[in-house]
Amino acid sequence: MQEYWEIYMKNLEGKPASIQFNAGISMEVEDLGYTYPIVAYVKAKLKEPKENGLLGENEEPEILFLEDKLEASMIKFRIGKYVGRVISDGYVTFLYYVQYTYNWPDFIEFALNQHASYEVSNGHSQDGEWNYYKKLLYPTAKEWQLIQNHKVCDNLKEQDDNLYLARAIQHTLYFPEGEEQKEALIATLNKQNFKIQSEVKNEEGVKGFKFYRLDKPFYHDIDALTLSLIDMLEEYGASYDGWETSVVKS
């Protein structure tokens, strides 16, 4: 099972939530459901959460230590796999998928023996379909786009880019269901001052094209732009495939 972790923000029951999950196992979920059919959790109440219910800087080292101790206990008792963490509304919840639960009490006792100061609950239930992973931890298409946006922004920032300066930002789209509405989409993009560039084809042979406009790649700006593009392209049977731009320094 591959280890490839991502972290992102989402709205969970009307409140901000920080989600960390193992994206590396996403292609193996169907097979893993047979081996690890039980979802289990350990939920701890934060001592000093921020006003928005998320983890505060002062408490972070202790929560990371708790996370490591839980992982060490999971390995010691060989009962399952750690798949993700949710921090929201003043609580942190660690999620696992396990093979069996006969030694779950031993796992909990070993993992929490140094964290008696925390108010902790735990439990487990059948979930052979891995719905908690698919529907709670795994991001939607829009949430995935935000993850990628911030990676590109971080990379630009590391190169001393001034993210507030507008420049040509190039986008790519594809028509997975055919190009019947291509001309109508181009007309809509033109009305929004986008310029159409070269046609492209992906590895599966699906056709699309690139287009660009002068915009700012700052986090909030590019998030709003890409999310609006995803919605608009869906109306024309097209799918959004990301953006790129050049470094612009002050």
Confidence of residue 177 (pLDDT cuts 50, 70, 90): confident
pTM summary value: 0.85
Q: 130 and 91, same structural domain?
A: yes
Q: Which two tokens stand for residue 93?
A: 């919840």
Residue 250 lies in a domain: no
pLDDT at residue 27 greater than cutoff 90: no
Order of strands across the sheet that contains 207-215:
195-201, 207-215, 167-174, 239-245
Q: Which two tokens stand for residue 163?
A: 């993210």
Confidence of residue 1 (pLDDT cuts 50, 70, 90): low
**pLDDT at position 114:** 86
The residue out of 98, 117, 137 marking a domain boundary is 137
Angle, nearest 10°, between helix axes 60-77 and 104-112?
A: 140
Cα 246–Cα 218–Cα 7 angle in degrees, nearest 5 = 105
The residue out of 77, 103, 137 marking a domain boundary is 137
3-state class (DSSP) for residue 105: helix
Q: 13 and 121, same structural domain?
A: yes
Residue 85 lies in a domain: yes
Q: 9 and 132, same structural domain?
A: yes
Residue 47 lies in a domain: yes
Q: 211 and 122, same structural domain?
A: no
Q: What single string gives the DSSP state of each residue in 106-140?
A: HHHHHHHTT-TTS-EEEEEEE-TT-HIIIIIIS--
Q: 195 and 222, same structural domain?
A: yes
The residue out of 116, 137, 158 marking a domain boundary is 137
**pLDDT at position 246:** 96
Which helix (H) or strand (E) segment holds residue 11: the answer is strand 5-12
Contact (Cβ atoms closer than 8 angstroms) between residue 43 and residue 93: yes
**pLDDT at position 224:** 96
Q: 88 and 69, same structural domain?
A: yes
Number of domains within the chain? 2
pLDDT single digits (tens) 44-91: 999 999 999 999 999 999 999 999 999 999 999 988 999 999 999 999
Residue with tokens 């002062």: 58
3-state class (DSSP) for residue 243: strand
pLDDT single digits (tens) 99-113: 999 999 999 999 999
- Parent domain of 33: 5-137
**Chain mean pLDDT for the chain:** 95
Q: 133 and 21, same structural domain?
A: yes
Residue 32 lies in a domain: yes
What's the chain's length in residues? 250
Contact (Cβ atoms closer than 8 angstroms) between residue 172 and residue 202: no
The CATH number of the domain holding residue 25 is: 3.30.70
pLDDT at residue 2 greater than cutoff 80: no
Q: What is the C-alpha separation between 235 and 231, in angstroms, rounded?
A: 7
Share of the chain above pLDDT 70, in %: 100
Residue 66 lies in a domain: yes
Q: 10 and 133, same structural domain?
A: yes
pLDDT at residue 93 greater than cutoff 80: yes
pLDDT single digits (tens) 116-142: 899 999 999 999 999 999 999 999 999
